[in-house]
Amino acid sequence: MAAAVIPAPTLPCLVFDYDGEQQRTTLFSISDGAHRACEIEELRAELAHVARLGMLASDPATAATFLWNPPRAPGTAADRIAVPPLAQPPPLRSVCARSGDPCTAAGGRCTVLLAEPPQSTILWYCQAGGTAWTRHEYDLGSASIRVPEGNAWCKRTVNRLASCQDRFYYPHSSTQCGVIGFSPAGLPELSTVPMKMGGLMAAAATYIVEIGGDLHTVYVFRHGIDFTAVADVGVYRMDFARQDHVRVESIGDRAILAGSGSCFGGWCPATEFGLLPNTVYWMSSVDDRLHVFDIEVGAEEVHEPCKGVAVPSRKPFWIIPAHP
Cis peptide before 12 (omega within 30 of 0): yes
User: Is residue 50 situated within a structural domain?
Assistant: no
For residues 102 and 146, membership in a common domain is answered with: yes
Of the candidates 194, 211, 231, which is a domain's last residue?
Answer: 194
List pLDDT tens digits, range 214-251. Answer: 999 999 988 776 777 888 999 999 999 999 999 999 99
Encode pLDDT of 54-95 as tens digits.
Answer: 578 777 677 778 887 776 665 666 677 888 988 877 787 888
pLDDT at 40: 67
Tell whether 24 is covered by a domain.
no
35 located within any domain: no
Instruction: Quote the pLDDT of residue 2.
Output: 46
Residues 151 and 211 in one domain: no
Mean pLDDT for 150-177 is 89
Q: How many domains is the chain partitioned into structurally? A: 2
Question: CA angle, corner 104, sides to 319 and 272, nearest 5?
Answer: 40
Is there a single domain that holds both residue 64 and residue 190? yes
pLDDT of the residue at 1 = 42
* Confidence band, pLDDT 50/70/90 cuts, at residue 104: low
278-311 burial, b at 16+ Cβ within 10 Å, e below that, comes to bbbbbbbeeebebbbbebeeeeeeeeebbeeeee
